[in-house]
Amino acid sequence: MIPGFRITPWEVSGDTVDYNSLISLFELDVVTTEVRNLFQEVFGEEHYLISRGIFYAHRFLRLALLDLKYNRAKVYIFTGRGASGPMHIGHLIPVNLAKWMQERLGLHFFFQISDDEKFVLRPDLGLKQVRKYALGNALDFVALGFDEKRTHIIWDTQVASWLYPLTLKLAKRISLSELKNLVKIDDSWNVGVAFYSVVQSMPALMMEMELNEPYRALVPMAVDQDPLMRVSVLIADKMGLRKPGMIHSKFLLGLKGEPKMGTRYPESAIFLTDPPEVVREKIEGSACGPPRRCPALSYLRAFDPDDESFFSIWEVCFNDPEEGCKLAKKRAIEVLVPFIEEHQMRRKEMRDKVDEYLMKEPPIPLDKSLDPRD
């Protein structure tokens, strides 16, 4: 373990992230060649976020892929976002993989916006403020262009009338000592954080629990969220439900080389609401370093689908970090500035559309069959 390195669902500290140690610490499985081949067989091709090693670990992913391959259970996608501020490009890594999976197989996608989590977690945030952030996050989400009929936003405080009763069904199945051990909280934490740990598990289990049919959630997520999602695994075991299949991603570097781009540190992040000229300035002023420590190259790794372009710049960075950094910054501007411009145009067009994606009722029986072949 790297000295000074610390990672929880709410904190990442240290000069760098020891991703290999997280495999052991969280008891994860590596995304092996076998898993990659199965993923490619199911989806018809492999996404570059996987082939480039951004998604590098998993828990029960093979089960979800085999369910899709043999039609053993209806698989849906679930991920989410904590509403602690505006969305930045690092938040898009699991969302982009989810969007691609939906496009490939027509899967339903449930996106949880947890304003409740950030309210109970952050003493400096009021409920009104986190709800404002949640609305902005929802707007950014729908502007990314999902299938409206198969995409559902679970905005926690907005849909509490059905979210709370379903969460109670899970909460009574887990003891406080089990929860504290999984999520790594102690007696100093407020009870709201403990209860939210169960709230986040609910979308991963709700379809099978409520419909009493074979369903499994497929969950792309950042690796720091694994302790929270392990709560759903424990409850699934207790209730005889299918465990969610999870695939874990690495973080996007901050602009100054921080191990994780973060909302709480605006100087480290490229926000989806940043004016294009600000995005350009941020990239131009970002840190330089060898391939694993170069922010601009990490942005290309996550957002430039052109393998030839990315790997040619990576090779220059490896041999000549200074020259490679210049090329990476130039290419990152070419990729990200037009993306941000187009996103902000769509964001304006979608202002009145958020409500259409909001999941206002529980998952019965309005979407009885999630199988696109039905």
End-to-end CA distance of the chain: 49
Question: Is pLDDT above 60 for 358?
Answer: yes
Cβ density class 62-86: b for 16+ within 10 Å, e for less: bbbbbbbeeeebbbbbbbbbbbbbb
Mean pLDDT in the chain?
93
Q: What percent of the chain has pLDDT over 90?
A: 90
Tokens for 94, please give them: 């699991």
Mean pLDDT of 222-236: 96
Taking the CA of residue 194 as centre, how many other CA atoms within 13 Å lie in the half-sphere pointing to its CB?
17
> Packing angle between helix 61-70 and helix 33-43, nearest 10 degrees?
30
Question: What phi and psi, each to the nearest 5 degrees, are found at residue 11?
Answer: -150, 135
Question: Is pLDDT above 60 for 364?
Answer: no
Residue 15 has what pLDDT?
Answer: 81
> What whole-number distance in Å separates Cα of residue 49 and Cα of residue 28?
18
> What whole-number distance in Å separates Cα of residue 324 and Cα of residue 20?
26
Q: Model-level pTM? A: 0.94
Residue 9 has what pLDDT?
Answer: 85
**Which residues, at least 6 apart from 209, have a Cβ–Cβ distance to it below 8 Å?**
166, 169, 239, 241
Tokens for 30, please give them: 């590596």
Mean pLDDT of 35-61: 98
Question: Is pLDDT above 70 for 86?
Answer: yes
Type and span of the H or E element at 128: helix 127-142
Question: Is pLDDT above 50 for 367?
Answer: no
For the chain, domain boundaries: 1-374
- Least Cα distance to 116 among 12, 228, 225, 199 occurs for 199
Question: Is pLDDT above 50 for 270?
Answer: yes
Helix, strand, coil percent content, the chain, rounded in steps of 5: 55, 15, 35
Check if the beta carbon of residue 122 is closer than 8 Å to that of residue 68: no
> What whole-number distance in Å separates Cα of residue 244 and Cα of residue 232?
8
- Looking at per-residue confidence, does 142 or 5 come out higher? 142
Question: Is pLDDT above 90 for 348?
Answer: yes
Return the amino acid letter for 193.
V
Residue 202 has what pLDDT?
Answer: 96
> What whole-number distance in Å separates Cα of residue 258 and Cα of residue 280?
19
Q: How many helices (H) and strands (E) does the chain have?
A: 17, 9
Classified as helix, coil or strand, 358 is strand
Question: Is pLDDT above 80 for 369?
Answer: no
Place of tokens 């497929």: 218
User: Using 50, 70 and 90 to split pLDDT, how confident is the model at 12?
Assistant: confident
Question: Is pLDDT above 50 for 238?
Answer: yes
pLDDT in tens, 149-194: 999 999 999 999 999 999 999 999 999 999 999 998 999 999 999 9
Return the amino acid letter for 159.
V
Sign of CA dihedral 245, 185, 235, 373: negative
User: Using 50, 70 and 90 to split pLDDT, how confident is the model at 226?
Assistant: very high
pLDDT in tens, 294-316: 999 999 999 999 999 999 999 99
CATH number for region 1-374: 3.40.50.620
Tokens for 227, please give them: 């302790």
Question: What phi and psi, each to the nearest 5 degrees, are found at residue 283?
Answer: -70, -45
pLDDT in tens, 110-139: 999 999 999 999 999 999 999 999 999 999
- Least Cα distance to 192 among 223, 217, 169, 171 occurs for 171
Residue 264 has what pLDDT?
Answer: 81
Cβ density class 203-220: b for 16+ within 10 Å, e for less: bbbbbbbbbeeebbbbbb
Residue 4 has what pLDDT?
Answer: 60
> What whole-number distance in Å separates Cα of residue 220 and Cα of residue 66?
16
Type and span of the H or E element at 277: helix 276-284
Tell me how far CA of residue 76 lies from CA of 42, 59, 214, 219, 235, in angstroms. 14, 16, 11, 9, 19
Residue 2 has what pLDDT?
Answer: 53
Q: Hey, which bits of 120-249 come out as E strands?
A: 151-155, 215-222, 245-249
User: Using 50, 70 and 90 to split pLDDT, how confident is the model at 7?
Assistant: confident
> What whole-number distance in Å separates Cα of residue 76 and Cα of residue 98?
10
